[in-house]
């Protein structure tokens, strides 16, 4: 078991207890996996297609198009705002393995079951890879027992496990896995070219999949650069490997997933020339450091600052729109009445007031892990490097979560490292003298604070005592029923047409019916977002104008959400001479044919 100055003081050999048993970490890990995947969710997802999030539904639509023969480079969803369609900014690199699995299974078990098997098993398989990477990295850095405890901790980290639930085929789980690999590579004491290159390739893969982890990848680059500035030749291999591999892999992946006609087109929301420019600055820094390799620390710092400032100035001059983030031209109406209300875009303080359990479950363990990592780094000289790096990744995730909740998703993959260490060093209490026992009690308390499920339980207890939150929970359950597959069966049997509906219903309409849609929660479809906002909040005149402008054949509402403006009155019985009600037997949805 790894020792620290915090936990090792005062230890004395005593009789062994059950807490010393080598079976204990394996038993806890097995218990965590069973509770994670043995609750019936996996079986239910195999029985009925389950898409818990709008992004999961849209991902399946993209995968189906690819399986059906749509071009690899054609990322237009043609049933979204037809006839022109909407070009997606997502990566085919995520579509490819899902499409391959469905295509391979379809001749054997049929397309419907092939989709259910693929969407149900893909997240658990990714979690298995995550656990193997975590265990291997932890075993090399700390101890085998801490590695197994870390797997148990992963099953208790809510911000992590939600990304690996059956049906979760969005790209966040892959980003979690890739960032874990980046972090573990940088934590290695050897600082080898191979470790740096692997980290660079993994970082490039994350950029190609999506830009959500961009701050963490920038941090990784700063770590290898700062290490070289401080340590010189000893850190040169890692810097060279990371910078050159990042540039080469990002360029290659960009070319693989982007149509040649778009290679010169700048996109602030996806891997494209602006972000390749920054990757190029990283590569240039690595190349200059390898060629010049100055011996003086001041010269190394000056070289790094010079190239960095040049790169930032060039980025600002060449790609000024991207200085404002991935949504530079979004209208104020859409930003205020849609983007600011998207859950993953909310700051943690806003979500804490709305749904305390979810907010605490997703972020409290992240903040606790950041503090615990800093304390461990200050007290454990033998493992200071990996602990400092872990604390930096956790800290940037915590800062992101304060601004946007989605910052917590990727950083949650680092929490089990700290939780595994704390649990390993907290047990057994029986072998400690009173001084050592108090230290281990403090560590055990930190383990509880690092348990996302414990925070989730605390939050739910608070929600049960707040009736407005309880009412919100009931509304959430009713809204979920509007997004289940069986809710769309009757609507799917209607003659094919374009559906005007609230924003969040759009991806499910694409996934569960043959109809086209007007609105979905994607920032590139501004016209659709404006139409969806009108459905949820607008007057009858606004809704009718959007129906005419988009050529919609149907208006579809979910009574649990569409309760403002004209939509709310329509749900509660108001008539309109341009709308003909459609009976959707057995569905919570309400639909009208637009005359």
Q: What is the CA radius of gyration of the chain?
A: 26
Please state, in angstroms and rounded to a whole number, the distance separating the CA atoms of residues 365 and 389: 18
Residues 6+ apart with CB under 8 A from 12: 431, 432, 433, 436
Q: Residue 311, class by beta-carbon neighbours within 10 Å (0-12 exposed, 13-18 middle, 19+ buried)? A: middle
Residues 6+ apart with CB under 8 A from 83: none
For 195, 221, 325, the CA distances from 199, given in Å and listed in that order, are: 6, 10, 25
3-class DSSP state of 556: strand
Please state, in angstroms and rounded to a whole number, the distance separating the CA atoms of residues 436 and 439: 5
Beta-bridge partners for 498: 516
Q: Longest C-alpha distance within the chain, in Å?
A: 85
Residues 6+ apart with CB under 8 A from 22: 145
pLDDT tens per residue, the chain (595 residues)? 344 444 443 344 445 666 667 888 899 999 999 999 987 788 888 999 989 899 999 999 999 999 999 999 999 999 999 999 999 999 999 999 999 999 999 999 999 999 999 999 999 999 999 999 999 999 999 988 999 999 999 999 999 999 999 999 999 999 999 999 999 999 999 999 999 999 999 999 999 999 999 999 999 999 999 999 999 999 999 999 999 999 999 999 999 999 999 999 999 999 999 999 999 999 999 999 999 888 899 999 999 999 999 999 999 999 999 998 888 889 999 999 999 988 888 899 888 888 888 899 999 999 999 999 999 999 999 999 999 999 999 999 999 999 988 888 889 999 999 999 999 888 775 555 444 667 767 777 888 899 999 999 888 887 777 655 545 555 556 677 889 999 999 999 999 999 999 999 999 999 999 999 999 999 999 999 999 999 999 999 999 999 999 999 999 999 887 567 899 999 988 899 999 999 998 899 999 999 8
Cβ contact 228:275 at 8 Å = no
Strand (E) positions, 420-528? 498-501, 516-517
**Would you state the structure tokens that stand for residue 291, as one six-digit string?**
């060629």
Please state, in angstroms and rounded to a whole number, the distance separating the CA atoms of residues 570 and 545: 16
3-class DSSP state of 87: strand
Cβ contact 560:482 at 8 Å = yes
């Amino acid at each position: 078991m790894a020792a620290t100055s915090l936990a090792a003081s005062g230890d004395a050999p005593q009789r062994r207890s059950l807490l010393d048993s080598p079976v204990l970490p394996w038993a806890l890990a097995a218990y965590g996996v069973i509770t994670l995947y043995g609750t019936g969710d996996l079986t239910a997802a195999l029985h009925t297609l389950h898409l818990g999030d709008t992004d999961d539904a849209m991902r399946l639509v993209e995968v189906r198009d690819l399986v059906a023969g749509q071009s690899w480079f054609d990322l237009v969803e043609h049933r979204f705002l037809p006839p022109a369609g909407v070009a997606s900014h997502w990566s085919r690199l995520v579509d490819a393995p899902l499409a391959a699995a469905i295509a391979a299974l379809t001749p054997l078990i049929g397309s419907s079951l092939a989709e259910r098997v693929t969407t149900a098993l893909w997240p658990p398989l990714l979690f298995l890879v995550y656990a193997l990477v975590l265990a291997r990295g932890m075993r090399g850095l700390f101890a085998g027992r801490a590695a197994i405890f870390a797997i148990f901790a992963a099953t208790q980290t809510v911000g992590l496990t939600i990304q690996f639930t059956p049906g979760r085929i969005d790209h966040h789980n892959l980003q979690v896995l890739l960032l874990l690999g980046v972090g573990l590579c940088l934590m290695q004491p050897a600082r080898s070219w191979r470790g740096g290159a692997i980290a660079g390739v993994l970082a490039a893969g994350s950029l190609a999949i999506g830009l959500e982890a961009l701050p963490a990848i920038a941090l990784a680059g700063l770590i290898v650069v700062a290490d070289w500035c401080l340590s010189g030749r000893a850190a040169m291999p890692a810097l060279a490997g990371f910078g050159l591999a990042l540039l080469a892999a990002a360029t290659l992946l960009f070319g693989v997933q982007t149509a040649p006609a778009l290679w010169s087109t700048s996109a602030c929301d996806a891997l494209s020339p602006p972000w390749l420019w920054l990757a190029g600055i990283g590569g240039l820094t690595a190349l200059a450091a390898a060629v010049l390799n100055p011996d003086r620390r001041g010269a190394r710092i000056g070289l790094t600052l010079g190239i960095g400032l040049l790169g930032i100035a060039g980025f600002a001059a060449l790609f000024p729109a991207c200085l404002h983030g991935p949504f530079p031209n979004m209208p104020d109406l859409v930003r205020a009445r849609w983007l600011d209300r998207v859950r993953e875009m909310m700051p943690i303080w806003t979500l804490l007031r709305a749904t305390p359990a979810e907010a605490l479950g997703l972020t409290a363990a992240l903040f606790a892990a950041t503090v615990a990592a800093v304390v461990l780094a200050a007290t454990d000289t033998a493992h200071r490097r990996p602990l400092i790096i872990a604390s930096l990744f956790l800290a940037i995730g915590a800062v992101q979560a304060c601004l946007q909740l989605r910052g917590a998703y990727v950083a949650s993959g680092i929490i089990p490292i700290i939780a595994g260490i704390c649990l390993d060093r907290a047990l057994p209490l029986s072998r400690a003298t009173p001084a050592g026992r108090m230290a281990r009690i403090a560590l055990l308390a930190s383990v509880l604070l690092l348990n996302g499920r414990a925070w989730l339980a605390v939050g739910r207890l608070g929600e049960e005592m707040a009736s407005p939150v309880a009412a919100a929970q009931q509304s959430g359950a009713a809204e979920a029923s509007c997004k289940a597959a069986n809710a769309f069966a009757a609507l799917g049997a209607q003659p094919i047409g374009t559906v005007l509906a609230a924003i969040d219903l759009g991806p499910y309409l694409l996934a569960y019916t043959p109809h086209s849609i007007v609105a979905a929660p994607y920032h590139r479809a501004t016209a659709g977002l404006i139409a969806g906002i009108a459905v949820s909040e607008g007057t009858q005149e606004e809704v009718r104008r959007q129906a005419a402008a988009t050529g919609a054949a149907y208006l579809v509402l979910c009574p649990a959400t569409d309760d403002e403006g004209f939509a709310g009155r329509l749900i509660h019985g108001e008539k309109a001479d341009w709308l003909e009600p459609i009976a959707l037997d057995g569905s919570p949805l309400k639909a009208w044919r637009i005359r």
